[in-house]
Amino acid sequence: MRFGWVCAGILVCFLLLVFRVGYLQLMENQQLAEQAAQRSIRTQVVPTNRAMITDRNDAPLAVSVSSKDIVLDPKHILDTNTDTRDERWQSMANVLQVPLSDIQHLIQSNARRRFVYLARKVEDGNADYIRKLHLTGVSTEQDFSRFYPMGQDAAGLIGIVGQDNQGLEGIELGFNSLLQGKSGLRVYQKDGSGAVISVIKRVDPVPPPNVTLSIDKFIQYVLFSKIRDSVLANQADSGCAVVVKVNTGEILGMASYPSFNPNNYGNTPAKNIHNVCSSDSFEPGSTIKPVVVMVGLDHNIIQPDTVLDTTPYRVNGHLIKDVGHWSKLTITGVLQKSSDIAVSHIALAMPASTLPAVYRSFGLGRPTTLGIGNESSGYLPTHRVRWADIERATFSFGYGLRVTPLQMAREYATIGSFGVYRPLSITKVTPPVVGQRIMPENVVKTVVHMMESDALPGGSGLSAAVPGYRLAIKTGTAEKIGPSGKYDGGYINYTAGVAPASNPQVALVVMVNNPKAGKHFGGSVAGPTFGKIMAQVLEHMNILPDAQPLKVMTAAKS
């Protein structure tokens, strides 16, 4: 009987066990499978290398270099009682230049986590050394680091990426979705010691296409070196320069200073990590005067041979005066001497809404939509209804609006194409580029010819002259509003123009912000920099001189 009870007990236990097994298999199998998967199955994103950025001649401006991330599994390290004081752990700490105590603290403070970054973007050689140490709970994952061959020369334009390879500034930010490509996926199963025992699913990454910019690497270098020298020599806050190809709207170079090292920008002040040309806006000062003269000619307010009274006068109680003293000036003289009085007379003779509309048609106060990240649109009061006469007057010589140097370059490229507006492009394009005529060709050609006087003796831009070439330029100086709300915050200096004037190929704008070395006029501060840049750009592009007849050499007959 006792044997029977024992057998019955065993049978009952067996039936209960079978019931439990059946219950788990039929009723809780999905939940148990999910728990098992959480313990052994891992999903890993397989990154693709970020697209290369090149200049118009395929020279690299930004490339992706293979690197590794060092990853910890704190829970596994603690569960296995791993001795992190071992000399191999000290070796890893030495390679990563991280105190071993910091690594131990990181493990302890994340005791229940299975994935913690110890180091990001470690060089492949160092990562391979760490992998060969065979440390428990330490693994490496593929990553990519960004390298910028031009360094600070193009940093403001090209921009930077963050730790997760997301664009933070410049082209890297504006073109981020195009540069990223599509990451892959790997689903794998690990055993108790962390080793991969099987790959369940794998999706290969899709690399993105390279991005070819309109930038010319040599011109970019020239712009940066010259604007850097100008800012330092004039003890200025900042400066920038932009070169645009007139017949396509392509930006051949865009440099700003202060700059930074994009390959190691950790300690760089945030104010230096941006593109002055597109992110900062200023009042344009006298650089706007050629457009005012064009509007006056187009509306028959003046004629090319008109002589204007330039005696100082008052508008709404405010005195309008020039830097120099002239009782009368021709229209050419108005541009050469940069007369505020003359252009204000022209502006007050036309409807108040005319100038804002024309400024906008030239691209002022409008973003360029280049996709270069963090671009300012400036300020242009096109919808303003009421204007005081003094506001109309000052608007004609560059006050009451704010533009970026990049927008100004678009304005002068339109002047260089004799009144045909073309959108700017930061990527390489194939000509011809169809534009929109916004000003009669004969009017613009007349003003371009007048602008040549500014680079001749007697003009404010003589320092910008390039021997052998005819330049159509305009210098400008705008006062800055200081903390008190008055124009006592220093000066903005410009020289802008096109060359060669007989058949403009390039437009160049140079801006120097708040020089403190003594000089503060556009012709004396920005003018010399303009001339140095333009001379090298014209030579590099093999543009023939147009200010003197060419001497053609012929071979002597034998």
Residues with catalytic annotation?
286
H-helix or E-strand containing 527? helix 527-540
Give the whole-angstrom CA distance, residue 136 versus residue 297. Answer: 81
Residues 6+ apart with CB under 8 A from 551: none
Instruction: Give me the phi and psi of 377, to 5 degrees please.
Output: -90, -10
> What is the distance between the alpha carbons of residues 189 and 193, in angstroms, rounded to a whole number?
11
- The closest alpha carbon to 253, from 214, 289, 288, belongs to 214
In the DSSP assignment, the letter for residue 361 is H
| Residue 384, H or E segment | none
- Compute the distance between CA of residue 206 and CA of residue 50 in angstroms, rounded to an integer: 10
- Cα separation, 158 vs 52, whole angstroms: 11
Nearest to 447 by CA among 330, 322, 284, 539: 330
Q: How many C-alpha atoms does 151 have within 13 Å on its Cβ side? A: 5
Given the structure tokens 């704010």, which residue do they identify? 402
Please provide the DSSP assignment of 296-356 as one string: HHHTTSS-TT-EEE---EEETTEEE--SS--SEEEHHHHHHHT-HHHHHHHHHTS-TTHHH
Residue 441, SS3?
helix
Strand order in the sheet with 506-513: 251-257, 238-245, 506-513, 491-499, 472-479
- DSSP calls for 121-189: EEEHHHHHHHHHT--TTEEEEEEEEEE-TTGGGSHHHH--B-TTS-B-SHHHHHTHHHHH-B-EEEEEE
